[in-house]
Amino acid sequence: MDDGFQFIIESPQNSQGHKKRPRLVTSCDNCRLKKIKCLQAQPEAKCEACKTAKIPCRFKDRERYFAERSRAIAGPPPYGNDPNAKPSGVVIPDGDSYYPNIRHSIDVARRAAQQPRPEHGGHPQPQPSVHLFDIERPQFPNKHYMAIFIQLFFEHLANEFPFLSYEELSNDFWSSIMSPLMANCIASMASRYSTEQELVIRGLHNVAQAYAENAKTILQSIAHIPSLDTLHGIMLLSWSEYKNNRIPGLRSYCQMAMRMAIDIGLSDQNATSANLSENERNTRRATWASVLQLHLTASSFR
C-alpha cells in the first residue's frame, strides 16, 4: 500500500566540509557598524565617511573573510586544530601598535577569481599560496624575493639613500647577518617595482604594506636601543610614509630618527669619528645629512 511517504537515506559524512561560504565584505568596519554605504574613490583610498570623521579606515572584517576563504580553499590547516596557532612563515602582529597604524587589505577574492585552477581527475587543485616571509625565519622576507628586492632597491632608489651601499647590504644578506628591520624596510620599498607574477597578482601595494607592517612590529622591540642600523630602518620607514602621503607617520618616524641620530653622536661628527675608517665616517656623514633632509621635509607640512 502506497501511503505517500518517501524515505531518503543520506550520508552525513558527505556533507562535512561543505560549509557555507562567508560573505564578501565590501564595506569598512566603521560603515558596517553604522550600516551606511561605504564609498571609495579608489580601491586603496580611505572611504568618504572615514575621511569626513577623520578616523582610520580599517577592514578587519574583510581580513577575517580572507582568512576564512583561504582556509576553505586550502582545506584543514596543517598546524592542528588550535584556533590560536599561526602558520609558519606568516607574521601576524599582535596587540595595538604604539606607532602609526596603516590600513592594509589584500584582495584575495579577486585574485582567486582571476586565477585558473587546473583540474585533475575532475577535482580542482588548490593554488599554492605566495609566501612573503621566510618559513624558517618568519621575521625575514622570502629569500627568493629578498635577493630581487635588493637589486630593485638600488636600481630605483639608490640616489635617495646615499648612506646605504649595495655591496654591504648584499654581503649582509648572503651572509645572513642583515637585520630583520632593514630587510623588511628594503622589501617594502622595493617590492613596488617588482614584476614577479605572484606578487603582481597579489597586488604590489598590498605586498609593500605587509612588509612595512612587519618592519613596524619589529621596530617596537628594538627602538629603545640606538644603533646606526636601527636608525637607517627608521629613516626608510619615514620615507615610506611620505611616499604614501601619510604625513602623521612621517612626522612620528622623523622625530624618532632625529633623536636616535643625536643619541649615537651623528650631530657631532668630529667627536665620534676618531677611531672609525674612512668608509664608516662617510656613511655617518651621509646619514646625518639625510636625517636633516628628512627633518626639513617633515617640517614643511606643519
| Calpha distance 39→46 (Å, rounded) | 9
- Confidence category of residue 296, pLDDT binned at 50, 70, 90: very high
Domain extent, residue 161, equals 146-302
Of 55, 101, 59, the C-alpha closest to 217 is 101
pLDDT recorded at residue 267 = 86
Q: Report yes or no on 31 lying in a domain.
A: no
Q: What is the pLDDT of residues 161-195, one digit of tens each?
A: 999 999 999 999 999 999 999 999 999 999 999 99
Of 224, 130, 222, the C-alpha closest to 185 is 222
DSSP state, residue 45: S
What single string gives the DSSP state of each residue in 110-132? Answer: HHHHHS---EETTEEPPPPPP--
| Calpha distance 46→91 (Å, rounded) | 25
Q: Report yes or no on 135 lying in a domain.
A: no
Same domain, 53 and 158: no
| Calpha distance 208→194 (Å, rounded) | 10
Higher pLDDT, 291 or 7: 291
Same domain, 170 and 270: yes
| Backbone φ and ψ of 124, nearest 5° | -65, 140
Grid cell listed for 174: 648572503
Q: What is the pLDDT of residues 122-161, one digit of tens each?
A: 444 444 467 899 888 989 999 999 999 999 999 999 999 9
pLDDT recorded at residue 15 = 46
Q: Report yes or no on 28 lying in a domain.
A: no
| Calpha distance 217→211 (Å, rounded) | 10
pLDDT recorded at residue 11 = 53
Total domain count, the chain: 2
Q: Report yes or no on 170 lying in a domain.
A: yes
Chosen domain end from 46, 70, 94: 70
Task: Using only the alpha carbons of the chain, give its radius of gyration.
Answer: 24
Q: Report yes or no on 101 lying in a domain.
A: no
The pLDDT of 97-115, averaged and rounded, is: 34
Same domain, 199 and 291: yes
Q: Report yes or no on 110 lying in a domain.
A: no
Same domain, 152 and 265: yes
Q: What is the pLDDT of residues 30-83, one digit of tens each?
A: 777 777 777 777 666 778 877 777 677 776 655 565 555 545 444 444 334 444
Q: Hey, how many other C-beta atoms are within 10 angstroms of the C-beta on 295?
A: 17
Higher pLDDT, 87 or 37: 37
Higher pLDDT, 301 or 71: 301
Q: Report yes or no on 198 lying in a domain.
A: yes
Q: Hey, how many other C-beta atoms are within 10 angstroms of the C-beta on 163?
A: 18
Q: Report yes or no on 11 lying in a domain.
A: no
Is residue 297 a contact partner of residue 242, using CB atoms and an 8 Å limit? yes
Same domain, 162 and 300: yes
The pLDDT of 238-266, averaged and rounded, is: 92
